[in-house]
Amino acid sequence: MRMQVAIIGGGPSGLLLAQLLHKRGIESIVLERKTKEYVLSRIRAGVLEWGLCSLMDEAGVGARMRCEGIVHDGTIISHGDTAFRIDFDALTKASVMVYGQTEVTRDLYDAREAAGGRIDFEVEDVTIGGADTDAPFVEYRMGGEARRIDCDFIAGCDGFHGVSRQAIPLDVRREYEKLYPFGWLGILSETPPVHHELIYAGSERGFALCSMRNENLSRYYIQCSMSDRPEDWTDAAFWQELKRRIPAEHADTLVTGPSIEKSIAPLRSFVCEPMRWGRLFLCGDAAHIVPPTGAKGLNTAASDVNYLFRGLLQYYDQGDATGIDTYSQQALARVWKVERFSWWFSSLIHRYPDQSPFDLKMQRAEIDFLRTNEAAQRAMAQNYVGLPY
């Protein structure tokens, strides 16, 4: 089989790229190693930058998001019982959208199926060949049958553990990584959110985040040890610890209930350079990971998709390879700024095991500076709502 673009990975970044290309008459196939049901069962962040919202509209899949998503014009930062608001709208004239990644993925699957686009699920033994030539191809097995896709380009949207990054020779790629000495214990509960905006809370006991999926579905997190297991935490223990870390006014009004999902996520910063090798392009987690602080994972994948889509469109419409030739440089310039913001925000509100009394004073001074300085708030707001593509 021949396709213009082979996309490895049927998550939101691969599906978004496929749908954008379809809208402009560029054929693609999506290869996913799991089932559709498995992909839709994954619980991920739900804060969308304005740039991703615009891409969803451009792909023709933004209607439900615009109808059911919750626009957030600001967020709350607290330390102990001291809390203040960062006003995105006043500082940047922009906002973010709270709309679950699962719902983004569901909308993209619906659009792909309605368009008759090809998705092969439960693929195995995926290998990439000829990426450094003018005739790249992807080979894989599906239902025990060997298959091959000859194509013009390959988009590796298959995540941190996928095959795409590994296809780039070790003497070509360089990887940068920082592992954080804690994780996030998160629960999902069918309870109303404690506040209509997100609360990022720092405390002497560690970090906490109050988030939501909709008016009756809340997502809460607390910083925990990487040696912890979800089953070590009862629901009652989680709620008690959360209340200790958020301002008293919110702890007093928190509605608790049984968790319907509970998991622990490690925190990592990771970047692979370059993000292009020949006709293979890395997108999203295949190329970079950010801590969940600030919800930049999906949004940074979307910025990669934007650059790659524009480059492929320029190539097919105008015969101009400038966009694909500069893809890695464009994407990485934004990736490193997002990595910086996620690292800074994580450092601002987490408790690190090796912090000295001086470090703790500096952390508190940084929070106080942010609370009292409009320029600092504007810089944070600009990064939170999303840097321009």
pLDDT in tens, 236-272: 999 999 999 999 999 999 999 999 999 999 999 999 9
**Is the pLDDT reported for residue 45 higher than 80?**
no
| Arithmetic mean of pLDDT over the chain | 96
Q: Is there a single domain that holds both residue 39 and residue 159?
A: yes
Catalytic-labelled residue, pool 22, 72, 195, 288: 72
Q: Is there a single domain that holds both residue 51 and residue 142?
A: yes
Label residue 60 left, alpha or beta by phi (over 0 means left) and psi (-120 to 50 means alpha).
Answer: left
Q: Is there a single domain that holds both residue 204 and residue 217?
A: yes
Q: Is there a single domain that holds both residue 15 and residue 53?
A: yes
Q: Is there a single domain that holds both residue 359 and residue 288?
A: no
Rg over CA atoms, the chain? 21
Q: Is there a single domain that holds both residue 341 and residue 214?
A: no
Q: Is residue 91 part of a domain?
A: no
Q: Is residue 148 part of a domain?
A: yes
Q: Is there a single domain that holds both residue 231 and residue 115?
A: no
Q: How confident is the model at residue 300 (pLDDT cuts 50, 70, 90)?
A: very high
Q: Is there a single domain that holds both residue 258 and residue 237?
A: yes
Active site residue 389: no
Catalytic-labelled residue, pool 99, 296, 327, 350: 296
Domain that holds residue 136: 2-70+96-177+268-346
Active site residue 38: no
Distance, CA of 286 to CA of 270 (rounded, Å):
10
Are 313 and 24 in contact by the 8 Å Cβ rule? The answer is yes
Which CATH number fits the domain that encloses residue 209?
A: 3.30.9.10
Q: How many domains does the chain have?
A: 2
Q: Is residue 77 part of a domain?
A: no
Active site residue 140: no
Are 177 and 54 in contact by the 8 Å Cβ rule? The answer is no
Q: What pLDDT is stored for residue 256 in this prediction?
A: 97
Catalytic-labelled residue, pool 292, 315, 327, 350: 292
Q: Is residue 225 part of a domain?
A: yes
Which CATH number fits the domain that encloses residue 24?
A: 3.50.50.60
pLDDT digits (tens, 9 = 90+) for 95-122: 999 998 999 999 999 999 999 999 999 9
Active site residue 34: no
Distance, CA of 111 to CA of 90 (rounded, Å):
35
Nearest-10 Cα torsion for 114, 118, 121, 126: -160
pTM over the 0.85 mark: yes
* Total residue count of the chain as it appears in this document: 389
Q: Is there a single domain that holds both residue 310 and residue 360?
A: no
Catalytic-labelled residue, pool 180, 221, 315, 384: 384
Active site residue 72: yes
Q: What are phi and psi of 146, to 5 degrees?
A: -80, 135
Helix axes 374-385, 357-372, angle to 10 degrees: 90
Q: Is residue 81 part of a domain?
A: no
Question: What does the DSSP assignment read for 358-372?
Answer: HHHHHHHHHHHHHHH
Q: Is there a single domain that holds both residue 220 and residue 167?
A: no
